C-alpha cells in the first residue's frame, strides 16, 4: 500500500484554515479600530459571524488570539520585505517597509502593536512564534540599516537600535490617524509625508510638491 502525501490539504483542514483566517482578519480590524484592551471576544465572534464558544475551539484565550494575529502580521511583513526588488538600495528597502506598513495602517487592518501599557505585552514576549518572526525581521532590517549606514544613506553616527526602533514606531505612528481624521490629505499624500519626516526630518523639504 502506497501512502501518498497529499499536495493539497484535506477539505476539512482547508475549511479549518479558512475559518481561522477569517477570525484573524476580524481580529486585525478590531485591533486596528479599538486596540487590544477594548476589543471583546463577543465583538470578535459577532464580526466573524460565529458564536463566542466556537472562537474558543480555535484559540485558547483572548491573549493567544491576539498573539496569533500579531504573528501573522509579522509573517506578512517579513514576506513583503523578502520580496522587495533586489535592485533597491538598503535605505530604499527600509523606506519601502515603512511605506507598506503605513499603507496597511490606512486601510484599517493593521493590528495596533501595543508597545507598552497593554496587558498583552507579556504574553506576546512569551509567545515563541511571535518572537521567532520578530527576530527574523529585526535581523533583516538590522542588516539593511548597517548597509545604508555604510553607503552613507543613513547617519553612521546614529546607533542602529535607535534607527530600528524608530522604524518600528513610525510603522504604527498615530500621526497617520491624525492626518486621516483631518481629511485634508489623500492616503497617498499621508504615506509620502510620513515616510519623508521619518527619514529626512522636518527641516529638509520633501522632494516633490505635496
Partner DNA sequence: GTCTATAAACCGATAGAC
Partner DNA sequence: GTCTATCGGTTTATAGAC
Shortest distance, CB of residue 86 to DNA, whole angstroms?
Answer: 41
Q: Please say which residue, 13 or 169, places its beta carbon nearer to a copy of itself.
A: 169
Q: Which residues bind a copy of itself (CB under 8 A)?
A: 33-35, 37-38, 91, 112, 115-119, 153-159, 161-163, 165-166, 168-169, 173-175, 177-179, 182, 184-185, 193, 197-206, 209-210
Do residues 156 and 150 lie in contact, with contact meaning Cβ atoms separated by under 8 Å? Answer: yes
Q: How far apart are CA 179 and CA 176, in angstroms?
A: 5
Shortest distance, CB of residue 80 to a copy of itself, whole angstroms?
Answer: 21
Q: Please say which residue, 54 or 186, places its beta carbon nearer to DNA.
A: 54
Among 110, 125, 37, which residue's Cα sits nearest to residue 73? 110
Q: Please say which residue, 137 or 198, places its beta carbon nearer to a copy of itself.
A: 198
Shortest distance, CB of residue 194 to a copy of itself, whole angstroms?
Answer: 8
User: What does 41 bind: a copy of itself, DNA, none (CB cut-off 5 to 8 Å by kind)?
Assistant: DNA
Among 63, 76, 91, which residue's Cα sits nearest to residue 21? 76
C-alpha cell read off for 79 = 514576506
Q: Please say which residue, 52 or 99, places its beta carbon nearer to DNA.
A: 52
Among 97, 102, 85, 110, which residue's Cα sits nearest to residue 188? 102
CA dihedral 40, 42, 46, 51 (to 10 degrees): 140
Q: Which residues bind DNA (CB under 7 A)?
A: 12, 16, 19, 39-42, 49-54, 56-58, 60-63
Q: How far apart are CA 179 and CA 158, in angstroms?
A: 28
User: What does 62 bind: a copy of itself, DNA, none (CB cut-off 5 to 8 Å by kind)?
Assistant: DNA
Amino acid at each position: 500500500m502506497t501512502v501518498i502525501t497529499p499536495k493539497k490539504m484535506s477539505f476539512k483542514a482547508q475549511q479549518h484554515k479558512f475559518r481561522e483566517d477569517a477570525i484573524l482578519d476580524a481580529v486585525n480590524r478590531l485591533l486596528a479600530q479599538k486596540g487590544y484592551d477594548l476589543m471583546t471576544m463577543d465583538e470578535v465572534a459577532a464580526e466573524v459571524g460565529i458564536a463566542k464558544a466556537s472562537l474558543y475551539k480555535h484559540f485558547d484565550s483572548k491573549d493567544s488570539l491576539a498573539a496569533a494575529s500579531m504573528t501573522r502580521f509579522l509573517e506578512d511583513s517579513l514576506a513583503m520585505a523578502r520580496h522587495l526588488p533586489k535592485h533597491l538600495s538598503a535605505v530604499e528597502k527600509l523606506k519601502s517597509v515603512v511605506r507598506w506598513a503605513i499603507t496597511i495602517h490606512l486601510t484599517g487592518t493593521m493590528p495596533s502593536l501595543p508597545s507598552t501599557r497593554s496587558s498583552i505585552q507579556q504574553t506576546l514576549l512569551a509567545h515563541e512564534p511571535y518572537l521567532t518572526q520578530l527576530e527574523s525581521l529585526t535581523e533583516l532590517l538590522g542588516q539593511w540599516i548597517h548597509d545604508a549606514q555604510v553607503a552613507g544613506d543613513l547617519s553612521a553616527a546614529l546607533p542602529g537600535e535607535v534607527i530600528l526602533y524608530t522604524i518600528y514606531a513610525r510603522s504604527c505612528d498615530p500621526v497617520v490617524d491624525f492626518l486621516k481624521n483631518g481629511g485634508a490629505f489623500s492616503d497617498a499624500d499621508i504615506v509620502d509625508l510620513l515616510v519623508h519626516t521619518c527619514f529626512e526630518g522636518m527641516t529638509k523639504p520633501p522632494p516633490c510638491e505635496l
